[in-house]
Structure formats: structure tokens, C-alpha cells
A and B are shown apart, each in its own frame.
Chain A
Amino acid sequence: MSVLAYTESENGKFRKNAREVASYASEVARQMGTSVTAITVNNNNPGELAAYGVSKSLDIQDPKLKVFNARAYAAMIAEIAGKEGAKVIVISSGADAKFLAGLLAGRLNAGYVPNVVAAPQGTDPVVVKRTVFSNKGFAHTRILADTAIIGVSNNAFGKVENPVENTVESYTPTLDEGLFGTESVEVDKVVGKATIADADIVVSGGRGLKGPENWGMIEELAEVLGAATACSKPVSDMGWRPHSEHVGQTGKPVASNLYIAIGISGAIQHLAGVNAAKVKVVINIDPDAPFFKAADYGIVGDAFEVVPKLIEKLKEFKTQTA
């Protein structure tokens, strides 16, 4: 009856959201009076999650699972859920987790609730708070099915240290050949740069930057802050920046600690998509831009003057605090 945490690894190390998933599962287990079993795939140190309340780490080392395959992963999690008798499975809000979530819900006839932002309000039945209407509202959602799949939002519940005794058990899933009908042939991924999903800080540019040739200062600001770069919908529609950077209601959601919007007026669709960011800063020449009503800090000014000064001040700040 343990709570199952499906954790994601990259190059043998846990992703940031793995710690958040483990922490959330640990809170569910505390409420239910049970313990957490974590599924770890091709990770070099599966026991590391003991720090976040995981009592048992299932260590899966399988070359067939080296590249993510949603159907195979969903089958593996379903198999383990059966063996562990798990009624609650906690997953992240990453692209891979969202890919397998529906497959897993279909296999287990489970109730899947994504975008969960707070600890459960109850576990019998499971009731959780999630964002709906693309962050324009929240719902309190009750799971009616026997099995619950909870998708925790990035950076919402956060990671909570809660060291426990941990055992690592090696596990070999049964992987039917029929699961591999979809094959990954190429992965094109930015390395060594923060992604919008994982970054603590996101720096975003809008139409106010006038053209793609002016993105140098956005990238420099992001580099100084160790931030991911993003953009508004018009900017990606005009092809100034890739779609993968588009944040907003129909783009990627932002849930970072800090979001800096430069030259973005703040259409309702954009504001919805970035609503989960903890602290929002807006730099815009138009004092009437709607974003000022949604931001914590603002500078009314010309981005082409303000941003270079901000970069300079941040560099000074970094040398002082280094």
C-alpha cells in the first residue's frame, strides 16, 4: 500500500523535479500512514532520495529504457503499482511525465489530476488543489477512481527534506516488445543551458524588442542570472524566436521563482501562462501596459537603456557576493 513516486533522471542523476515528486509523495504517505517507494531508472545513486522521505528505491537499470519511451515506461509503472498495491502514484509535470500519464491512467483506470499545487486536503478519498483554465483559476478535485495519479506542478510544493532509512532494491520490469512501436531517432536538446521547465529564473522578451537581432541583451541577461530564455506568443509567431520559447496559455507554463518580462505588454493569455511564477518583474516603456497590474516589481522605461544597465548592476552584484 505504499505511495509510488515516479522519479526522472538525466545522465544518471535525478532531475530537480524528482526531489519535488519524492517530497510530495512523502507528504501523501505521511497523511496515509504509509511509506514511499520511488521508481528510479538508470540512476547512479537511487538511495539519494532518502533525504526526501523515500524508504525504498527501486533501481531499474535497463538499456532498453535508456531513451524515454512513454508506452514502455507506463507499462513499467503500472506493473510496479500492481506489485506494490499502490493506490497513489505521484509524477512530475515534465513533458515525459505528461506523455506517460494518460497511458498510465488508461492502463489502471485511474483518476489522473495534473498541475497540482498543494499538499492533498485528504487521502480518503484523495482531494487535491490544481490549476485550471490555464492558471486563471484553481479547482479542488476529488479522485473517484480506485487509483490516483497526482501530477505535481514544478516549483509549487517544492522539495522538503525529510531524511529516512532507505533500501535500494534492484528491479527488472517485464517489457513486452510490442511496447516499442515508437522509436526515438534523434534528440535535439540544448545542453548546459537552463530550460523553462527547470529554471529558477526565466527572462522573457516581447514585441517591444523590435526584432530578433536585439535578443543579444536578453541572452546576456539570462546568462548573468543563470536563467532560461523565453518569449511572448507574437514573437514566436513572427519567427523571431523558436516555438519552444513561447510561454503563455497556448505555450509553455512558467513556474519559476523569478520571471522577468521585457517589452511584453501582458495580454490575458500571456499572464495566465506565467501566473505561477513566484516573483514577476516587468520592464516596459508603456506605463499602461497590463503587465504592470500583474507584476511585483516594474520599471517604466526603454528596454534598450534599462536592460544593459541591469546587466551591469547584476555583474557588480555577483562580484560583490561571490
Chain B
Amino acid sequence: MKILVCISNVPDTTSKINFTDDNRTFDTSGIQFVINPNDEFGLTRAMWFKDKQGATVHVATVGEASAEPTIRKALAIGADEAIRVNAVPADGYFVARQLAEVIRSGGYDLVICGRESIDYNGGMVPGILASLLDMNFVNTCIGLEVEGNSVTALREIDGGKETLKTSFPLVVGGQKGLVEESDLKIPNMRGIMMARQKKLQVVEPTEAPQAIEDTQFEKPAPKGEVKLVDPSNVGELVDLLHNEAKVI
């Protein structure tokens, strides 16, 4: 089983988000970049397949040299090899076109992406990949078992979950549930040392268009002061929700 985990390099979840350049650019100053959490659940599941079922695990990202610490971290966690497509990840469509090339030349059975990146929340890369490569696809995947060529996947749906039977080649849009939070690995010193020896291949991008473009950003309007209700007078809250907020 040959697995590719696609990694997005995103601001840490605790980041405060600001914009510069007349609100046209995301302000990266002081921002710590990490493996996109949805991708990390997938990477950790891939490591499980490596340990238990002898899978080979590669990781790929589309990004400039500044994304290398993130992809090195994936190697330190245990991925065997890494590929970086040397381009600014302009939008989901462009990124998917780049990753499709990586997948075509690598011959992977299973491609695991996050269901979305936590920066632009596009959620389109895994679906576009499956479409371009004519592979099976499971999104919002919260459980994945492989037996030979056949796959059982659990998918989150609105208000529940669905069990799906499918087969390789397969693209997965993963999230928490693929593994638990407590299964995530912090790279140890040995992993970090070994990662330095592992192959990190830099490839130049293929010609592909950008499908969408963010022209302007804004931050949510500041919230007004909270209206406090005394705990001895809970009825007032019911009254406010009914007469003032009109939500009940």
C-alpha cells in the first residue's frame, strides 16, 4: 500500500488573524505555522497503516521554501519521503492540479488530505483530485480500514454517520476521528534526526490556472458589551431572548 498525505501549511489554531497591505494580504508576522490539523489526523492514520500494514507513506505540499519546516515535521513524525511543489498555493484548484501531477507520477493507492485547511477553509482539494484522477472519494472521513484492495470508511453526515464500502485508488478528505486527538504524535529527537536524512524532493510547478482570487479581507465587526443577567433572575434572560433578541 502506497499512501500520499497532502499537507497544508497553516497558521496555528490559536493565531490571532490580521490583514495588511490595505487589507489585501494576510499578515503572517508573528504567526506560527503548523501542519493543518485535519491533515495531521490523516498523517497519523497513515503512520498506523505503515506500522500495522507495512504501508509506504509520502507527504506532499504545495508551497515555497518557507513551508519546509512543516513538511520536515511530517517526516519527523514518520513519513518516508516528502515532495514539495515549489509554488505559492494560489487557490484550491491550482493546488489540486499540482498535487494531481505528484499523484500521477507516484502511483499511490491512497491519497489522504484534510477535509479542509483551517486558513481559507476551501475544502475543495480532495474532491478536485478525485475528479481529475478518476479515483474513489470519501469526504469528512472519520474512520478508515483497509483489507487488501477493499476499504471500509466511516463518513460524518449532517446529524450522524455513514459507513461506506469502496476500493483503491481512493482519495480521502479526513478529519478528527480518523485518529483521536490523543493519538497525535509529537516528533521525538530520533525522529527529528532521521528526518534530516530523508528525501525531500523539490519539484517545479506545472502550468495551471487559478480559479478564484481573494481581493479584499476584513475582520468581524467588534462585539458590543455583553448584557449580564443576575443568576437569581433567570426569567429576565427568557424575557430578553423573546422580546429583545427575538430568538425564542
Contact = CB atoms under 8 A, between A and B. Distances in A.
Contacts, number: 283
Please classify the interface of chain B as helix (H, G, I), strand (E, B), loop, or mixed, using the class held by over half of its residues: mixed
B234 A313 contact: yes
The contact size tier of chain B is: 35 or more
Given A102-B124, A103-B127, A299-B234, A141 B215 contact: yes
B186 interface: no
B246 to A, nearest CB: 9
Interface of B: 11, 13-14, 16-17, 19, 26, 37-38, 91-93, 96, 115, 118-132, 136-140, 142, 155-167, 173, 175-177, 180-182, 209-220, 223-224, 226-231, 234-235, 237-238, 240-242, 245, 247-248
B226 A137 contact: no
Contacts of A297: 226-229, 237, 240-241, 245
Contacts of A322: none
Interface of A: 70-71, 74, 94-96, 98-107, 109-115, 127, 131-145, 181-190, 193, 195-198, 200-201, 225, 237, 243-244, 246, 249-251, 257-258, 267-269, 275, 278-279, 281-282, 292-302, 305-306, 309-310, 313-314, 316-317, 321
B178 to A, nearest CB: 11
B180 A237 contact: yes
B157 A306 contact: no
A144 B211 contact: yes
Contact of A136 (B17, B140, B211): B17
Given A111-B211, A316-B235, 15 more contacts: A95-B158, A96-B157, A99-B127, A111-B91, A111-B212, A114-B124, A132-B214, A136-B219, A182-B137, A197-B158, A250-B118, A275-B220, A278-B247, A293-B226, A297-B229
Contact of A298 (B37, B161, B213, B226): B226
